Each structure stands twice: as C-alpha cells, then as structure tokens.
Structure 1
C-alpha cells in the first residue's frame, strides 16, 4: 500500500510496475477503512488462487494409453495419405492471396500450445476481430453489450465527504474513477460478455477459405498437433486465450479436464443441426465430454462413435 500527498502520474506508474496493491492520495478514507483494507490484503495473500472451482481441484487428468496410441496411429497415417491433397490446397491458398499458407495461433487445451490451421482468411485479418466481435458475434445479445460507465457514481464514495474516495483514484480516458468501483464494473462487464466468438458472414474469409472451412480441410494441420501431444483426435475444442480466460472464471472450467480435440461432441452437434447453437449449450456439451475424464470413465467406443458422426457432419453449409 502506497500513500501520496497528491497524485503524480509517474509515481502511480512506478507503483503499478512494483505491483503495489493500493495507491492512496490525500484526503485519505477513514482510518477504519484503511485498517479493514490492510487486513483484507493480508488474508488475500495467504490464499492460493485456483483456476478451477473447489469441487474440481482434486480431479486429476491422465490421457488413457489406448487413446494416445489411437491418436498417433490415425494422425500419422492420415498425414501420409492426405499429403497430396494438402499440397494442392496450399497451392490454391497461395495463388488466391499473399502470405503464409498456414496459420498459427496460441490456443488453450489442458495447457497453452501453438495451434496449426490452413489459412482461410486474408493475411492480417486478426486486427479486425475486435470490431467484428462487437458487431457480428453469433453469441452476443443486446443484453450482453456492456462497458464500464465512468459517469456512474461509486456507492461507497457517495457516502464520504466531498473530495474523499473509498479507494485509490484511477485516471482513464479523461475520466476519474475509484479503483473499487472500476473493478466492480469490470467484473460485471466480464460476466456479461460472451465467452465464445463466432462471426456471422465473416468478411475476412477468402473464396478458397470458405471451401476448406465448410469441409474442415483447414483443420488437417492439426494432425501435427495430435502427433506432438497437444491435441487428441476427439476432445473439446481448444480455445483462443481470450475465450479461455473467461471460462476459467466461471463454473464451466470443467471442460479443461478433457484433452483438446480436432472433433468432439460440440462440433458434431453443431454441424448436425446446421450451425445454430447457444453459448450455454456449447458449454454444457464441453462439460459433458469432460465428465468422461473426471471420474476415469473414458470409453474408446464413445470416441469412435463421435468420429463416425463427424463424417456426415462435414458436409454442411455453415462455416464453423
């Protein structure tokens, strides 16, 4: 905790870089509030922060040997047999647009890893994602469009004398807001945001990209991920980091107890119904598959059934 006579931007930045929890500027809040805050910080530092809910913390994940053996054999064989097709598709991608024919991004399964796909979008289109996510995200609703409202008064500061604040004052976007009220609103915004992003009629997709996405050919480089052990043939979809961060903060983190996979329960169900699925349904299906690993209830035949269901589901119109 750092207390300053007045606010200085360079001092505030230095405190932030040194991981100072609280930065107070005169006039200070009541002494009892400061004591209460100090007690809270002391207790908080003695606690261990877990990414999983309490009931899942003792659950251990171990990939069954039969599943790993199946993954290596199938992925290795498929890469050899499909290599001519891969070469043709890569040539088509390169002829249509400049840039690398493959795409690498950080994804999260049981752990973060480099995720491989054939490029189906224009080079550099990632910079458009934030704007498109606001305008065309399938999982967004009007109720989920939330931002921090700097004009709303803090309820705790409102009961204090004029000029006093319940916590350090932050200066953001030409606004001043106390640290407590900023973080309260920030948590509410995080809860209201969709954990998943799927762009409707994505303008970033190329002509070749639309074909390989509809037929899932763009997923073939993930066979390399399978051989490396990052993924399995069947599992929960590996998530971009921004989606995974949201899910580890709610009761849907159970999905991370299952391996990341090329295909799985969610993908099969989604394609089978033509691409329409709510966010809650997607979370439920991910957790349902994870249940097979929480209690060591893995079934090779269940995975095989999902693989067989994947084949007809590939021939659909929607881009997943």
Structure 2
C-alpha cells in the first residue's frame, strides 16, 4: 500500500499569507492532489497504487498548497482530484489564478460525484475540469485518461475546445483548397517512382488488386471511394467481424476498429503501414476534392453510422483529411479510447485554419513511424 501523505498546516491566518506545509516527498513516486476525502471511495484500488496522495484538506489550505507548491515539491502533480461537495465553494477566479501563476496549466483536473448532477457537472466545467465522473472507476482505468488530458493540455488544448456551436455544413475555403491541390499534385509527381515500385511489390507478393478501395464517410457525411495501397490479404474484410470481438484496440463501445498486430496484413503491407506509404493514393482523393491534406479521418460506413448523436456528429463538420489532430497526438498509442479520438476530432473542427494545418503537418512527421503495429 502506498504511503498516505497529508499536509500539515502550520500557518493559515488569511488568504494572503502562504500556508507552510511539512511534507516528505518521495521523488520516485508521482503525486496526486485531492480535495475532499470522500472521492477516494469512488476510485477503486487507488490506495494500492504507487502514487503519493496529498490531501488538500479544505479549500483555503488547498489553494495555499497549490500557490506554494514549488517550495515543497520538485515536480507538478499528475492530476488534481476534487469532490463535488467542495466544488460550489471553490472560487473559479482564485483557482484559475493559482493554476496560472504556479504553472498548473498542464495539470488535469477531475471532479468526482456520487451521482449524476447536471448542475454540479456545469460547475465542474466552469472551473476548467477536464473530466466529471459520477460512478466508481478503477484506478488503472483512470491512469490513461489522466495521461491523455496531460498530452492535450501540453499541446495547448482543453476539453472546452471540443464544445462546438452547431453549424449547418462545412464548406472548404479557397486558400485551403488551393493549398491541397498544390501539395497533392506536387507530392504525386515526386512520389511517382515510389508508386510504381510499391505497385510492383504488391503484385509480386500476392494475387489481387494493387489498390484497396472502400466506401468512407467524410465531410458532412458525404460518402466517397477511399483509396489506399492494399496492405492486407484479399479476403480481409470477411475476417473483420471475428477480429472486432477478439482483437479490437478500442474496447469502449466499438465506434472505431483498430486491430493490433493484425494477422490479415501481408509482409509488404506491414512495411507500407509502418512507413505510411499505404496512404499515398489518398492524394488522388485530395485532388478530387473528397479530402484535404489535413482534417478528420474519413470513417468506414460501419463506424460512421454509429456516430449520429450531436456530440459525435460534430466531428463531420470539418474537412476529411489524410492527417489530423488525433493522428499526431495519439497515433500508435494503445490506450487511446474512441471518446478521446472523437474529442480530438471535434477540437480540430473548432480550431481548423491554414496556420493550424501547417502546425499539424509538422507534428505529423515524427508520427509517421508508428511505435506499435496498429
């Protein structure tokens, strides 16, 4: 069981004075700060984890602890956990000020409640919380969520960026379309020798077509023929249903399908996928106007038909693209959930601009070589 660390307050006369704390820090253990000990019952096995738990005790001491954090600790906490019983009295202005001045802008904030309460949920969003839980959760399931929000904040985004106004349809602007045509046309000319070599390699290894063509849903749910170099066996689609049940990377509702170490992939296909060369034919989709260089990934129809609620459908209110925000932040990371991927897609819809596209293209370069076979 991990050591339970609590703050010992020596002076707390007023809000303006710094509260001195006496804490023994273990540099080998990451830190979790919590406000409201009731929330510990909402997280299963947290006391058995290799984390230091710092009790904020009450709002005054909690704010003072955060304000004076650097005097006692060498690193920022992994996450701040808050129970809803103390949420109403937590000043958003003071909390935001402390987070900004003390360098806590990249630390996720999660609110816990014993039951679903819409008013409390709105209070959680108002203080900049990244997540609201109203049911018990296993600590090992909470860790990937914390890591996701840390990456999101480090990249300059927040959950609030995924809250969109409902637009009618997306219409690509002139500069983006001009940029897409110029980049796709130039890239196809430069890659033409590679296209020929890859086509020959695919034909030599196995019988079947060079290109894989599937129906995808893109911008505004528009359905089109999506092109890739074939990286799988010819009968790959018939094997999908069985693999979805046994090997799907996304196990949280199956909105998306991603098979780790996919047995259907051929030897040349494995190389094409890990080098992203299988994506080159999508440049033809860009020239046709089906897709953009940067945007949200067009989805197979069996996935798109599951995303019809308002929150999910918003990810289609932007351009479909070869690369996008979720690819650069999450590609090859096994803990990615479907909910996180949708959130990143929605953030892109809200943030998309030519300048943002340039940034994502630069971020795509180190993400091209995947760390996992997914």
Q: Which residue of 1 aligns with 2:250?
A: 139
Shift of 1:124: 1.5
Residue 113 of structure 1 is matched in structure 2 by 224
Contact 2:232 2:266 in 1 (8 A): yes
Cα distance in 2 for partners of 1:268, 1:242 equals: 24
CA separation of 1:276/1:89 partners in 2, compared to 1, >3 Å: closer, same or farther? farther
Decide which of 253, 267, 292 is 2:327's aligned counterpart.
Answer: 267
Return the match for 1:124 from 235, 257, 262.
235
For 2:24, the equivalent position in structure 1 comes to none
Matched, 1:279 2:338: yes
Question: SS at the partner of 2:306?
Answer: helix
Shift in Å, 1:55: 6.2
1:311 maps to which residue? 365
Give the one of 285, 289, 299 matched to 2:348: 289
Instruction: Compare relative contact order (CA 8 Å, sep 6+) and give the higher one, 1 or 2.
Output: 1
- Asked if 1:228 is matched to 2:288, the reply is yes
Q: Please give the secondary structure, in 2, of the residue aligned with 1:248.
A: coil
Q: Which SS does the other structure have where 1:246 is aligned?
A: coil
Partner of 2:37: none
Aligned to 2:15: none
Give the paired residue count: 210
Q: Matches of 1:302 and 1:55 in 2, distance apart? A: 19
Q: Distance in 2 between matches of 1:84 and 1:303?
A: 27
Shift of 1:250: 5.1
* Structure 2 residue ranges without an equivalent (≥5): 1-163
TM-score (norm 1): 0.63
Could you say what secondary structure the match of 1:85 adopts? helix
What is the rounded CA distance, in whole Å, between the counterparts of 2:353 and 2:309 in structure 1? 29
* Residue in structure 1 matched with residue 261 of structure 2 by the alignment: 201
Change (3 A) 1:275 1:138: closer
Question: What is residue 199 of structure 2 aligned with on the other side?
Answer: 90
How much does 1:199 deviate?
1.0
Find the residue that maps to 1:60 and give its secondary structure.
Answer: coil
Please, which runs of 5 or more residues in structure 1 have no aligned partner?
1-53, 142-192, 293-297
Pair 1:100 & 2:209 matched: yes
TM-score (norm 2): 0.54
Whole-Å Cα distance in 1 between the matches of residues 334 and 308 of structure 2?
A: 25
CA displacement, residues 92-136 of structure 1 (integer Å, 9 cap, x when unaligned): 111111101110000000200000000000012100001100111
**Conservation of the 8 A alpha-carbon contact between 2:260 and 2:373:** no
**Alpha-carbon offset, residue 232 of structure 1:** 0.1
| Structure 1 residue aligned with 2:178 | 69
Among 156, 178, 189, which residue is 1:80 paired with? 189
In structure 2, C-alpha distance between the alignment counterparts of 1:317 and 1:274, rounded to whole Å = 8
2: distance between equivalents of 1:254 and 1:319?
A: 29
The answer as to 2:353 corresponding to 1:299 is: yes
Instruction: Report the Cα distance in structure 2 between the residues aligned to 1:291 and 1:319, rounded to whole angstroms.
Output: 31
Distance between the aligned counterparts of 1:128 and 1:284, measured in 2?
29
**What is the Cα deviation at residue 319 of structure 1?**
3.5
1:171-186 correspondence runs (5 A): none
SS in 2 for 1:223: helix
| RMSD of aligned alpha carbons | 1.8
| SS across alignment from 2:311 | coil
Distance 2:334 2:358 in 1: 22
CA distance in 1, matches of 2:281, 2:213: 10
| 1:62/1:268 CA distance change after superposition, 3 Å | same
